[in-house]
Structure 1
Amino acid sequence: MRHFILTVSLLALSAGTVIAKPPLRDVAQIDNAVFDVAVADQIRKKCDDIAPRVITALSLYRETRKLARKLGYTDDEIEAYGDSKVEKARMRAKGEAYMRANGVVTSDPQSYCALGRKEIQKASRIGSMLREK
């Protein structure tokens, strides 16, 4: 009987223990998907020769939200991450660094086109959201 009471007590204590979720920025699958969409979006905005593959981007958006929910994040938490000025600034800086490292010069639209073509040719996730006009 004493063993039973101890087991039930331990189960009750463990049920009350909440495991904290990491911030969405620390979930690589989520953060990397957001990064790829952000880079693809900048390329298509800056290069007139490249258009977005809107359905592909929307599919990735839906899959990423679905994954976040599956990982236990609420719609409010997902929205807060997406709307955060801090996260937008962090993502912008990360994207700018990536583009600079890949030859993009902000004053040269053709450098965005070159990166876009490179991503399309590599069949990267960024490239999958872009197409040449």
Structure 2
Amino acid sequence: MRMMLPLIAAILMANASFATALPPLREVKEIDDGLFAVAVADQIRKECPSISARMFRALSYINALENRARDLGYSEEEIKAYVESKAEKARMRARGEAYLKANGVSYAAPETFCALGKSEIAKATRIGQLLRAK
């Protein structure tokens, strides 16, 4: 029986570590949605000549997202892998394109980017907080 106690303790500890495994960063809503806002704001400022980025605010926000991911237990390697992943970039791009389209934006009409940007700024959304009308 004494031989069984260490084995049982080891099994319980192994199960506990599996139970506390972190989900992929793409499934952490606050991180994924934060990066989504940065991506959409960046696209708006690139396409609309009358809107610019609040660069200091954007960089501070990205830094805060990275710190939050670390606070949640993600390693630098996990964060870097998520941010640099081609698959994640493609997923985020598709999500952004769908958002733009749902909000009446067309690449053929740059003024639609400006209209969305001004709307986001007026509503003080996360996207709008990263932008500034010139």
- Tell me if TM exceeds 0.5: yes
CA-CA distance at 1:15 after TM superposition: 3.1
Gaps in structure 2 of 5+ consecutive residues:
none
Corresponding residue to 2:14 among 5, 13, 16: 16
Cα RMSD between the aligned structures?
Answer: 1.7
Spell out the pairing of 1:56-75 with structure 2 (5 A cutoff): 56-75=57-76
User: Aligned pair 1:93/2:125, yes or no?
Assistant: no
* Percent of aligned positions that are identical: 52
Residues 67/11 of structure 1: CA separation in 2 closer, same or farther (3 Å cut): farther
Other-structure match for 1:130: 131
CA-CA distance at 1:9 after TM superposition: 6.5
Spell out the pairing of 1:104-119 with structure 2 (5 A cutoff): 104-119=105-120
1:114 match: secondary structure? helix
Equivalents in 1 of 2:78, 2:37: separation in Å? 20
Residues 128/9 of structure 1: CA separation in 2 closer, same or farther (3 Å cut): same
Extract structure 1 runs of 4+ deviating beyond 6 A: none
CA-CA distance at 1:59 after TM superposition: 1.2
Other-structure match for 2:83: 82
CA-CA distance at 1:34 after TM superposition: 0.6
Question: Normalization by structure 1: what TM-score?
Answer: 0.90
Amino acid at match of 2:65: T
CA-CA distance at 1:16 after TM superposition: 3.2
Question: Normalization by structure 2: what TM-score?
Answer: 0.89
User: Aligned pair 1:37/2:38, yes or no?
Assistant: yes
Q: Deviations over 1:11-45 (max 9, x none)?
A: 55433332321111011011000100000000000
CA-CA distance at 1:117 after TM superposition: 0.1
Gaps in structure 1 of 5+ consecutive residues:
none
Amino acid at match of 1:111: T
Amino acid at match of 2:14: G
Q: Deviations over 1:64-118 (max 9, x none)?
A: 1111111111000000000001000000000000011001011111100000000
Residues 74/122 of structure 1: CA separation in 2 closer, same or farther (3 Å cut): same
Equivalents in 1 of 2:12, 2:53: separation in Å? 48
Aligned residues: 130
